[in-house]
Structure 1
Amino acid sequence: MLRNLLSLILMVLVWLGGALPVAAQSQPEVVSVNVEQLSDLREQAFTATNQGNFALAETYWTQILDQMPDSAAVWSNRGNARVSQNKLEEAIADYNKAIELAPDAPDPYLNRGTAWEGLQQWDKAIADYNTVLSLDPNDPAAYNNRGNAEAGKGNWDVAIADYKHAAELAKDFAFARANYALALYQVGQTDDAIREMRNIVRKYPRFADMRAALTAALWVNGQKGEAESNWFAALGLDARYKKIDWVNNVRRWPPAMSAALERFLNLQ
């Protein structure tokens, strides 16, 4: 259940192309002298995360670590809070500690991979995602995130295969489907990309990322009325898509998709 917790804030984070850090399970064998206090701190940490207050979440995880320094889950969760604040090197140090304590747990490798991506250390990220898949060959987040790292290297065909497999493993993994559509556009499969975007918007009408992408693709395709309709919807959901720097460097759209959106924005 906790593995899916951060999906509640996907529309806030969309960071790294939907790369997902995952909340680690607590280790039940670790017992503190103050169980009630630990339970309260843990609940407050997850509440702060859900509210987007990652600095406060980091503070709570640090307080828990004072009492549970041998819990890999807590180290990994503090790393997640740090990644969300772009404190990437500090997050990697936390994930390293989690891996030292629990070398066979997949989540710290997955989470560390997202931090390596933030530093554009694509090969290190891919190595971590490969480790996850050696531990759990059917982990959709690892395939999606590996696709992001391969895209960072410009290996679009490899990225497409990973995104597609992630979406097949988890039918409701909207970001994997979105990344797949964006990558199709990058390699010139425009009709297939637009078809996939429309299908995603039909299923998830409040998915701003695909509304904005569909805007750009349709505008370039000459379908201006439908493009503008999707743009109004996208802005109502997430105004950050007006900022091409954010699209390029935070959401990390493929170059062709970003260029299409920039063409649209320059005509507004």
Structure 2
Amino acid sequence: MISTGLAQTQENAAITEEQLQLGETIAKKAIKATESGNFAQAEVYWTQLVEEFPNNPAAWSNRGNARVSQNKLEGAIADFNQAIELAPDAPDPYLNRGTALEAQGKYQAAIADYNRVLTLNPDDAMAYNNLGNAESGQGDWEKALTDYQKAAEIAPNFAFARANAALVYYQIGKTKEAITEMRNLVRKYPMFPDVRAALTAILWSAGQQGEAESHWVAAVGMDNRYQDIDWVKNIRRWPPQMVAALDKFLNLQ
């Protein structure tokens, strides 16, 4: 999550209005670079802000996010640690650090961070979704499903939480529930490639090739990474049964 908060969190009372204005200008450039996917340039801008406003936790946390996006996980975690030291009761750095720890496969440490977020903000839907992701990483499917459902209950339009729940339905053998939820999501969010690709895999396995291929054309037209089974397994991190179903489709089995 991106925020600047330069004036609010800067503890140095001697800072000038001119410095604050310059900082806000740099922050806007950093956010624009992030939105365009230029994470290396965003990191450069956030580094300028860290150097100019070393007591600002948002600058550290946002640089950590830019580093996570480049898979610079150790540096990112160091930034989140610094943000937490500066603002121990702010939920965002814990959420962000959890994401980095998860990417390292340190699921228990990530779960601890997400639970800390929920202690600070019990209605944080993203924390529940990410908690489900970490639990999925450990194969705790029932716990993951509960947390994905909680995220969707708090934020009914949180489509990814609902999609994650549907993936787990398939993992635990509830194929009918998975298909129903995915079809509901496609109707509401037709430009959602993750669900289109998942429906492809499930329907192909169920012998519904025509509908499966229709969803596949839409999915890869929006995001061709679903053609890469390694990306689906290790980066998107679908559950194993979903990965196996997509692999069968990709190999026309």
Q: 80, 86, 96: which one pairs with 1:95?
A: 80
Aligned to 2:147: 162
Which residue matches 1:107?
A: 92
Q: Which among 151, 170, 193 is matched to residue 136 of structure 2?
A: 151
For 1:79-228, list aligned pairs within 5 A: 79-228=64-213
Alignment-mate amino acid for residue 22 of structure 2: Q
Give the distance between the partners of 2:196 and 2:90, measured in 1 at CA.
36
Deviation at 1:94, TM superposition (A): 0.3
In 2, Cα distance between the equivalents of 1:24 and 1:192?
38
Distance 1:27 1:40, change over 3 A: closer
Matched positions, count: 247
Deviation at 1:25, TM superposition (A): 4.5
Equivalent-residue separation in structure 1 for 2:218 and 2:197 (angstroms): 8
- State TM-score, norm by structure 1: 0.90
The one-letter amino acid paired with 2:247 is: E
Range moving further from structure 2, 24-33 or 114-123: 24-33
Residue identity over aligned pairs, in percent, reads 61
Q: Deviations over 1:205-227 (max 9, x none)?
A: 01000000000000001111100
Are residue 38 (structure 1) and residue 17 (structure 2) matched?
Answer: no
Whether the 8 Å CA contact 2:132–2:143 is kept in 1: the answer is: yes
- Match of residue 34 from structure 2: 49
Structure showing greater radius of gyration is 2
Q: Which residue of 1 aligns with 2:236?
A: 251
Long gaps (5+) in structure 2:
none
Cα distance in structure 2, aligned partners of 1:23 and 1:151:
26
Once residues 245 and 227 of structure 1 are traced to their aligned partners in structure 2, the CA distance between those partners, rounded to angstroms, is: 21
> How much does 1:36 deviate?
2.5
> Are the counterparts in 2 of residues 65 and 74 from structure 1 also a CA contact under 8 Å?
yes
1:24 to 2:27 alignment: no
Give the superposition deviation at 1:28: 2.5
CA-to-partner distance for each residue in 1:19-57, whole Å, 9 max, x for gaps? xxx223514232743222212101000000000000100
**Letter matched to residue 42 of structure 1:** A
Partner of 2:218: 233
What is the root-mean-square deviation of aligned Cα atoms in Å?
A: 1.1
Q: 8 Å contact 2:4–2:27 — kept in the other structure?
A: no
Q: Distance in 1 between matches of 2:127 and 2:117?
A: 7
- The superposition leaves residues 211-251 of structure 1 with CA deviations (integer Å, 9 ceiling, x where unpaired) of 00000000001111100000000111011101100100110
Cα distance in 2 for partners of 1:174, 1:83 equals 23
Contact 1:24 1:107 in 2 (8 A): no
Contact (CA 8 Å) 2:6, 2:20: kept in 1 or not? no
